[in-house]
Amino acid sequence: MLAKCMEPRVKNSSAIRAMFEAGVEMAKIYGKENVYDFSLGNPNVPAPPEVNKALIEVIQNEDPIKLHGYMVNAGFEETRTAIAENLNKRFGAHLDMSNIVMTAGAGLALNLVLRSILDIDDEIVVTAPYFVDYTNYVSNYHGKLVLVDSVPEKNFAPDMDDLRAKITPRTKGMLINSPNNPTGAIYSEETIKEIAAILEEKQQEYGHVIYLIADEPYRELVYDGSDVPFVPHYYDNTLVCYSFSKGLSLAGERIGYVLIPDESDNSAEFKTAISIANRISGGINAPSVMQLALAKCLDAKVDIDFYAKNAKVLYDGLTEAGFQCVKPQGAFYMWVKSPMADESEFIADMKEKHILCTPGSAFAGPGYVRISYCVAYETIVNAMPGFKELGKKYFG
Amino acid sequence: MLAKCMEPRVKNSSAIRAMFEAGVEMAKIYGKENVYDFSLGNPNVPAPPEVNKALIEVIQNEDPIKLHGYMVNAGFEETRTAIAENLNKRFGAHLDMSNIVMTAGAGLALNLVLRSILDIDDEIVVTAPYFVDYTNYVSNYHGKLVLVDSVPEKNFAPDMDDLRAKITPRTKGMLINSPNNPTGAIYSEETIKEIAAILEEKQQEYGHVIYLIADEPYRELVYDGSDVPFVPHYYDNTLVCYSFSKGLSLAGERIGYVLIPDESDNSAEFKTAISIANRISGGINAPSVMQLALAKCLDAKVDIDFYAKNAKVLYDGLTEAGFQCVKPQGAFYMWVKSPMADESEFIADMKEKHILCTPGSAFAGPGYVRISYCVAYETIVNAMPGFKELGKKYFG
């Protein structure tokens, strides 16, 4: 009944579902307020008020046919122009609407890029740990995801020797995700430059384009004044896959874009390819009313302090209890070293304290766990006694 | 730079783009009101007022985190329940929310189904003429679209002998589209029964599931009391791919669903597969705010009379001028026989009268043209003198 490639996905999903159902069962027994679920990545901060204001404004005032109708597959001109101008202002870029293709979020943006560049058995390199669904995105088109080691001591930058070794004649791109899910790390300018140099070298060697695909749903969620380099400044064949899911708390609305710089190889043809990929993926275009609203509220910001406060109390509490954590520079995840090599024991111990989070192995990062802190502040505070008890048990 | 499979798509797209640009050029020369563009399928009737009312209501009153946040990949429970109940009421079905997976329109719904069932070189059968992008949807997953003849004299029903002959051990499904783009025809109950019998026979013969995939974006656009049979009543392994694009004029919003009946093979596993396909396609879920609004306005209807009036004046005018047209039962397209075997000559003659429409060859239906009448009534009235002159030229 199912395609062969779908079978393991469905089987694996049942395991995740079992974990989710265990959480629901625990909530029934102990009360929802006594179960501390840090497993999901759903923003817990409302969209800024400008978004709903803009939505109501376009619903009430826009031409009714335009409001909910098709537009060109790349999206409304005013939205793409507003985004280009916003990026020009913030990063000194020289973009116009032709550089932006609106998509139903970064997940679809990545799929459109992969659809456009992958033939069967082509390769994409990515550093581990990485967002789980990258494997599925690449295998949707029968490509292969090739893992490159990262260096925890260097803020999870790629092991540059390993990166060089893993790029083959079949490599069509490298996927990066900074701020990172699951580590919360941000690639420094130096790291981006080193990556760019290696990709340039390999493009020369193999005589074809190797794209640097920057998955940036967490670009706006940064702490302590951290800087996220604007990748197209460092490498011509960059493609940015952006989402408003986290920066404007619009995860359910599916709105984002692919940015194709003019400096990239044969950019006019590639822009057309991404638009076509949008159409033939069945996505067709990003949702109409949300595109129109977005053009009016691009300067809005979610309450970053909410996440910053959560990050601080969680980091301080866990390190005090003896745990080794990566201090988050961005996103809303904390990457915590498991006291035991096999983190499933740590996960089991936490479960006894009613704490749920995701094993690092799910991100190809065994020996760690991911604690998602896009939760109520109280959840962290109330979970802390459990963490402290575990700290005492492990570290005395 | 591009994947091999994308190259012909990009090349072909330039040809369509050239036609579109020719239209824009003509409008510049002759004035927009003097160019009659019947080439597009964008609804020209506003969404019913209930939709915007419901949108504003949920934006103002819904919990702000829920309003724009992630939900399960299958969609909000209230939306799926409301749709199931609406279908139960209209068609005497026995559905609940578990049978419905919300998607970003029917185009994505079809892609999720194909992603779930197709391995490389698996086959999908479809009658010609057919909606052009089916080829791309199937080849996204390296499947093959296999064409079956239709019988114009039998309302474009499949040639049943040809259907039987074209189903092979690699056939995973048959795709039907009724009301049809481009012919406007609706499959009768008898036709559905004949198809079902052949698929049942072939399932037995080959020992695996063959899905009947009903692409139904035009279900609500029917004229003269025509009836569109509810396909799951006739064949257990039916999957309905539905869209609100046309029925509620929400084409730009990307909202629809896949319906998986409990009677279908291993339905629980397949429901999971479609949810997973939604996630890994990058679509993740159908847009949140539109899902919530939809739950409150499912009984709304667009002004069908607008299309019915257009259909009548176009059909009467063209037949009076001597053209052979398929009388539309549904959708908003008229399928017109070209007076010359090669319809590109007819297209060129129409262009001289500033009339733009789509050659049948683009739908694997050479010798015909598709005239889309989701346009202003005046466009049809004003184009009619040109059609009459051509009728005089061809038929005397």
Which of A114, A111, A146, A115 has its CA nearest to residue A130? Answer: A146
CA angle A370, A347, A22 (to 5 degrees): 100
- DSSP SS3 for A199: helix
Nearest residue, CB atoms, A116 vs list B2, B119, B279: B2
As a whole number of angstroms, the distance between CA A50 and CA A248 comes to: 10
- Count the residues in chain B: 396
User: CA separation (Å) from A342 to A337, A339, B50?
Assistant: 10, 9, 55
Name the residue with tokens 């319809």: B343
CA atoms within 13 A on the CB side of B329: 16
Judge if B4-47+303-395 and B49-294 fold alike in CATH terms. no
- The ipTM of this complex is 0.95
Residue B382 burial by Cβ neighbours in a 10 Å radius (0-12, 13-18, 19+): middle
Question: Which chain A residues have a beta carbon less than 8 Å from that of B104?
Answer: 104, 254, 282-284, 287
CATH assignment of B4-47+303-395, among 3.40.50.12780, 3.30.365.10, 3.90.1150.10, 3.30.565.10: 3.90.1150.10
Write the residue in B46, B283, B288 that is nearest to A65 by C-beta: B46
Which residue does chain A place closest to B209, by CA atoms?
Answer: A1
* Alpha carbon distance A117, A109 (integer Å): 13
Boundaries of every domain in chain A: 4-46+303-395, 49-294
Angle between helices A377-395 and A343-352 (to 10 degrees): 120
Could you confirm whether domain A4-46+303-395 is CATH 3.40.50.20? no
Contact yes or no for A101/A74 (Cβ under 8 A): yes
H helices of B247-324, where?
267-280, 288-294, 304-320
Contacts of B277 in chain A (CB under 8 A): 6
B-chain CB neighbours of A2 within 8 Å are 116-117, 269-270, 273
List alpha helices for B321-357, DSSP H.
343-352
Torsion angles phi and psi, residue A293, rounded to 5: -65, -40
pTM of the model: 0.96
At A9, the pLDDT band (50, 70, 90 cuts) reads confident
* Residue among A1, A251, A265 whose CB faces B1 most closely: A265
The answer to whether A140 contacts B55, with C-beta atoms less than 8 Å apart, is no
**What is the chain B residue with the closest CA to A133?**
B280
Fold of B49-294: Aspartate Aminotransferase; domain 2 (3.40.640)
Q: Which residues contact B51 (CB under 8 A, 6 or more apart)?
A: A68, B248, B250, B293, B297, B300
Segment A242-261 shows an average pLDDT of: 97
pLDDT tens digits, residue range A25-82?
A: 898 899 988 999 998 888 889 999 999 999 999 999 999 999 999 999 999 999 999 9
CA A6 vs CA A139, A147, B98: distances in Å: 10, 22, 20
User: Which stretch of DSSP H or E encloses residue B219?
Assistant: none
Q: How many CB atoms are located within 10 Å of the residue A197 CB?
A: 14
| CB contact (8 A) between residue B1 and residue A270 | yes
Q: Which residues contact B12 (CB under 8 A, 6 or more apart)?
A: none
Instruction: Per residue of chain B (396 residues), give pLDDT as tens.
Output: 899 988 988 887 776 677 777 788 898 899 988 999 998 888 889 999 999 999 999 999 999 999 999 999 999 999 999 999 999 999 999 999 999 999 999 999 999 999 999 999 999 999 999 998 999 999 999 999 999 999 999 999 999 999 999 999 999 999 999 999 999 999 999 999 999 999 999 999 999 999 999 999 999 999 988 899 999 999 999 999 999 999 999 999 999 999 999 999 999 999 999 999 999 999 999 999 999 999 999 999 999 999 999 999 999 999 999 999 999 999 999 999 999 999 999 999 999 999 999 999 999 999 999 999 999 999 999 999 999 999 999 998
Nearest to B252 among A10, A69, A111 (CB): A69
Mean pLDDT of A261-281: 96
> Helices marked H in chain A — which ranges?
7-30, 49-61, 64-68, 77-91, 105-117, 133-139, 160-166, 189-206, 267-280, 288-294, 304-320, 343-352, 377-395
Residues A287, A74 contacting (CB under 8 angstroms): no
